[in-house]
Structure 1
Amino acid sequence: MTKEHYYLLLADDDEDDCLFFKEALDEITVSTALSMVHDGVQLMEYLKNNISNLPDVVFLDLNMPRKNGLECLAEIKDDENLKNLPIIIFSTSLDGEIVDKVYQKGASFYIRKPGDFSKLKSVIEKALTIAPENNFKQPERANFILQP
């Protein structure tokens, strides 16, 4: 699924993280368009209202109000219209148990939010160049966590 241009959806309640993500996209070589939602309820409403125009990839934070990322991931993978949507977990946490859980639930990749802007650019670009090579299909567990 390597494309010239990716339509991304970021689900994250942290305004600073959203701003850094958008700024990082502006500086990478992959062409993108970005939409954002700020909690899990907004995410699910957005996806259900845009079934005919789904994003190419969802970057999903785990710790959000109203409905967390784990709940959203489960709901997406249980929905016939959404189950093939690539989900990249984008979280500050790197708890092994949580990583295992989102892997089992079908996330495509896991990214721990880097604090450094250059690493953020690097890991996003890596996600958008490596992941499409295998059509955003989930890799072996050993390659599930993307590092900058």
Structure 2
Amino acid sequence: MQAQTTSIQRILLIDADDDDQFIFEHILCEVAPSVQLEVRASEKEIVDVVNQWQPDLIFLDFNLPNDGGVECLQSLKQCKDSHLFPVIIYSSLFNPKDIETAFDLGAIQYIQKADHYVKVKDMLCSFIEMPKRA
């Protein structure tokens, strides 16, 4: 499989589940090896990470411990240039209230975590091909 050319160069994954982190990283390396991935397990110091690293795209698990997903999304929207990086909720939580909250806080999409390798791969490919925001 040939690597895809993409304008997305840096992805930040915020997810507390080690297995989900591993799967995400493995698939990303397969479909877009040139894309850099930064992984965080919590919302702690996330504003500093984003301001220094400047990701092109953020995947956030809304199911972080202690309501951390909501707090994290609120913090992300306070970052300088927050309009430049889309935040995609990628979570096992999938109820209308969570979805509404995520969109109210600025997420551009809410995706339920897939339990199948091919579905995760297809999802990642669709976002990697997305143009960067200007």
TM-score scaled to structure 2, two decimals? 0.83
SS of the residue 1:58 aligns to? strand
Q: Show CA shifts across 1:64-113 (max 9, x none).
A: 23661111111222x25042121111101111111111111111211111
Q: 2:88 and 2:18 mapped to 1: Cα distance? A: 19
DSSP-derived class of the 1:40 partner: coil
Structure 1 runs, 4 residues or longer, greater than 6 Å off = none
In structure 2, distance between residues paired with 1:127 and 1:5: 8
The alignment status of 1:119 with 2:119, answered yes or no, reads: yes
Which has the higher mean CA deviation after the structures are superposed, 35-44 or 15-24? Answer: 35-44
Q: CA deviation at 1:61?
A: 0.8
* CA distance in structure 1 between the partners assigned to 2:79 and 2:48 by the alignment: 15
Question: Is residue 14–residue 38 contact of structure 1 (8 Å, CA) maintained in 2?
Answer: yes
Q: What is the match of residue 73 of structure 1? A: 73
Query: 1:30·1:125 contact (CA, 8 Å) conserved in 2?
Result: no
> Is 2:17 the counterpart of 1:14?
yes
| Structure 1 Cα separation of the partners of residues 79 and 92 of structure 2 | 29
3-state DSSP of counterpart to 2:115? coil
If asked which structure has higher relative contact order (CA below 8 Å, sep 6+), I would say: 2
Q: Can you list the C-alpha shifts for 1:107-140, whole angstroms capped at 9, x where unaligned?
A: 12111110001110001111222x438x49xxxx
Give the unaligned 5+ runs of structure 2.
Answer: none
Q: Work out whether residues 61 and 90 of structure 2, in 8 Å CA contact, stay in contact via their aligned partners in 1.
A: yes
Q: Which amino acid aligns with 2:23?
A: F
**Conserved in 2, the CA contact under 8 Å of 1:60 and 1:69?**
yes
Paired positions, count: 129
Q: Residue deviations 1:17-56, cap 9 Å, x none?
A: 00000011122258411011111114334224x1xx4111
Unaligned runs of 5+ in 1: 137-148
Deviation at 1:59, TM superposition (A): 0.7
Partner of 1:132: 131
Identity %: 28
